[in-house]
Structure 1
């Protein structure tokens, strides 16, 4: 067990949440806007207090935050951010290897504020992985990435030995690697494998209204 929430609540978003994250597990967190998906990650990082229950994490945490653009005039290179995350005594070769591992070495010497949204996301990935995390928390890590880099990111998350809790707006990009789904809805939550959670009757109960889950060209769509 790498992380655990017991009878956890952050009022008024969600309550009664029991979640155990095991080593090497990949959990996708889904749900509509405003139900507290990012808040859940905050409780595991210790930056958001629970209003009830308990949260425990046993191990190093890496975090890929939800995308926000760096100021254009920020006088810092991507390489600098990764180097600072790794520690000032880290050999340059190790910093370069970390940048290369996420495909960010080609633009690492540019000021981060002048990078595209996708490039900034890769720098944040390098920062998170540089912590050698045992629990990796990712908040919409695929935003602004082109399809090829999004696929590479999913593979990278999956192949890393850390347990992964990934907030995503769609199950489809992670469908091939996810172990369990936590779906937060307006009327509650449900945890289980994809076949248990992504069903019309289950999501209809969470939304309190009719919701259809259909498959279109091999992709799950929630209507």
Structure 2
């Protein structure tokens, strides 16, 4: 039994996997960083800057996929799925806040589970934007965005499959539901306060 030969074969395989893993990690981390920065730019109203960073994030994701195309076990180790989810979140946040149609998963070249989880996380960004709209007394816009968040939640809730297939979509559903309930409460309170203030003003004018 030539154990040294066996060791050499395995060492060569492990070494190759480790090299592509490191390259994939670099690109996936850049994808996550760019996606996060893009979302921050969206909230600051810097849409063109956000679009540029999202395009860069997509390129990083594509490079990571290319590096790992012959090593599917490494591709599905987890870090790529997280990068895809963060990229989807950025794309979805931009579309929702700017009033554009949501991009489809195949056009983004991401897994379906990552797509759904990314949409769920985008609802959290919608909450932040809706709170900004409440502060600026743009309640109607906030109400429309909440309707979009409802649509996303019902899309997610329509899938009932094991976590091994959906990458813990149930957990994302639970978080999304909680975010929506809080946001609906905040928006309802703001609408009632505005209505009450309007009634008070009308009464004062009559006195």
Whether the TM-score (by the shorter chain) exceeds 0.5 is: no
TM-score w.r.t. the length of structure 1 is 0.28
| Richer in strand (by share) | 1
| Richer in helix (by share) | 2
Q: Which of structures 1 and 2 has the larger relative contact order (alpha carbons within 8 angstroms, sep 6+)?
A: 1
